[in-house]
């Protein structure tokens, strides 16, 4: 019996939704088992960092890496898995572009700690904060150190493929697994390095079942503020829906359920900066010529940075807010 190719999956700073999405491919998971030897997947099996360290470089064929790089332990594991893997996939929004936790890059890392350890219910009169190294009476204790900003996987190591989504849809995961198995059987070829896999090449709007007319809007409005037409395009109804700049592949799930697209599949094919594209798209539908009127309409979007960079701040051209880069006047990084 020939040796099966090795498979690994790891989460860094993530929520576990990517792991659940993989489990949700149901019986397809048996194909993974039949075609691969799973060597490292903390969610599903016993294996440890030391086992991984002992493997030969390049001995794992395929690693799906989810989660952003938030601390020095995440960074270490990213570098280790890169070395051990032939194909490294940035799996899910966090690894691809930072996702919601990337919004932390709007403020210095110290503020994350200060905020969390001084909330209304926290009893902390002495201002105790977690210490990467702490001398307990019995010996020294260690916890990882936060990096100044959250990084995407490709800001730390070279990435072969990107699989977007928060989380990637299970039917897309199943399709990618089918493709890899076909490649193994010599029936298909891998796409060029750097390709976005498991997603479409157009926008969420192209998959959306809602009716579209010529879009012009006189004001933006909030999703809960009025009854909405269940069949008409949300953006036409003034809801700041992100479908227009967001990559297709999810099947337009949120707009189909009456909720605006929040952009979890990342920038559409060929878009360099998601926020810039979305700003352009919104600007083109604003039905006004006077600067004051334009300003009034755009004021209807209550949180500009969140609207334009909700899932992509860490992976965008901006990467972080100015204060995160320069928390103490310029020496923050």
Partner 1 sequence: MTQRITIDPITRLEGHGKIEIFLNEEGEVANTYFQIPELRGFERFCVGRPIEEMPLLTNRICGVCPEAHHMAAAKAADAVYHVDPPRTAKMLRELLYSAFYVTDHTTHFYALAGPDFVMGPDAPVAERNILGVIHKVGLEIGSKVIRARKYGHTVVEIIGGRKVHPCTSIPGGLTKGITEEQRLEILEMGKWAVEFAQFSLKLFSDIVLSNKAYVDLILGDIYTHRTYYIGTVDENNRVNFYDGKVSVVDPQGNRIGKYAPHEYTEWIAEHVEPWTYLKFPYLKKVGWKGFVDGKDSGVYCATPLSRLNAADGMATPRAQEEYERFYATLGGKPVHQRLATHWARLIELLYAAERWVELASDPEVAGPNFHTVPTEMPTEGVGIVEAPRGTLTHHYRTDERGIVTKANLIVGTTNNYAPISMSINKAARTLIKKGQQITEPILNMIEMAFRPYDPCFGCATHTLPGQMPLEVTIRNAQGEVVQVLKR
| Residue list 204-243, contact with partner 1 (CB under 8 A) | 222-228, 230
Peptide bond into 167 cis (omega under 30): yes
Q: Which residues contact 33 (CB under 8 A, 6 or more apart)?
A: none
| DSSP for residue 101 | G
Of 217 and 241, nearer to partner 1 (C-beta) is 241
Which residue stretch of 11-19, 78-86, 204-212, 274-282 sits at the interface with partner 1 (rule: CB under 8 A)? 11-19
Identified binder of partner 1 from the candidate list 122, 195, 219, 284, rule CB under 8 A:
122
Which residue stretch of 111-119, 184-192, 196-204, 325-333 sits at the interface with partner 1 (rule: CB under 8 A)? 111-119
Phi-psi region of 198 (alpha: psi -120 to 50; beta: other; left: phi over 0): left
| DSSP for residue 92 | S
How many residues of this chain interact with partner 1, rule: CB under 8 A? 83
Under rule CB under 8 A, residue 107 binds partner 1: yes
| CA–CA gap between residue 18 and residue 64 (Å, rounded) | 10
Identified binder of partner 1 from the candidate list 55, 62, 64, 71, rule CB under 8 A:
71
**At closest approach, how far in Å is the CB of 249 from partner 1?**
13
Identified binder of partner 1 from the candidate list 3, 56, 123, 231, rule CB under 8 A:
123
| CA–CA gap between residue 237 and residue 259 (Å, rounded) | 12
| DSSP for residue 2 | P
Which residue stretch of 136-144, 183-191, 201-209, 284-292 sits at the interface with partner 1 (rule: CB under 8 A)? 136-144
Three-class secondary structure of residue 172 per DSSP: helix
| CA–CA gap between residue 164 and residue 157 (Å, rounded) | 17
Site map for partner 1, 151-190, x if CB under 8 A? ---------------xx--x--------------------
């Amino acid at each position: 019996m020939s040796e099966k190719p090795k498979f690994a999956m790891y989460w860094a700073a993530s929520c576990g939704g990517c792991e659940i999405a993989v489990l949700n491919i149901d019986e397809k998971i048996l194909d993974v088992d039949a075609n691969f030897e799973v060597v490292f997947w903390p969610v599903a099996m016993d294996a440890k960092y030391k086992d991984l360290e002992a493997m030969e470089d390049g001995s794992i064929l395929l690693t799906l890496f989810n989660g952003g790089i938030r601390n020095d332990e995440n960074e270490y594991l990213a570098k280790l898995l890169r070395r051990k893997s032939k194909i490294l996939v940035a799996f899910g929004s966090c690894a691809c572009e930072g996702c919601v936790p990337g919004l932390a890059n709007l403020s210095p890392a110290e503020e994350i700690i200060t905020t969390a350890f001084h909330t209304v219910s926290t009893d902390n009169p002495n201002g105790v904060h977690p210490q990467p190294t702490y001398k307990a009476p019995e010996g020294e204790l260690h916890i990882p150190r936060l990096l100044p900003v959250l990084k995407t996987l490709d800001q730390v190591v070279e990435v072969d493929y990107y699989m977007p989504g928060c989380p990637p849809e299970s039917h897309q995961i199943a399709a990618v697994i089918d493709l890899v198995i076909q490649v193994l059987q010599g029936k298909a070829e891998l796409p060029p390095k750097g390709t976005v896999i498991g997603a479409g090449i157009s926008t969420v709007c192209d998959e959306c079942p809602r009716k579209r007319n010529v879009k012009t809007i006189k004001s933006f409005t909030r999703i809960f503020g009025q009854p909405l037409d269940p069949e008409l395009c949300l953006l036409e109804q003034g809801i700041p829906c992100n479908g227009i700049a967001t990559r297709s592949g999810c099947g337009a799930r949120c707009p189909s359920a009456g909720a605006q697209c929040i952009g979890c599949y990342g920038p559409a094919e060929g878009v360099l900066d998601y926020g810039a594209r979305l700003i352009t798209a919104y600007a083109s539908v604003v039905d006004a010529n006077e600067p004051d009127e334009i300003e009034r309409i755009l004021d209807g979007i209550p949180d500009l940075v969140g609207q334009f960079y909700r899932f992509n701040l860490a992976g965008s051209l901006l990467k972080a807010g100015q204060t995160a880069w320069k928390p103490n006047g310029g020496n923050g990084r």
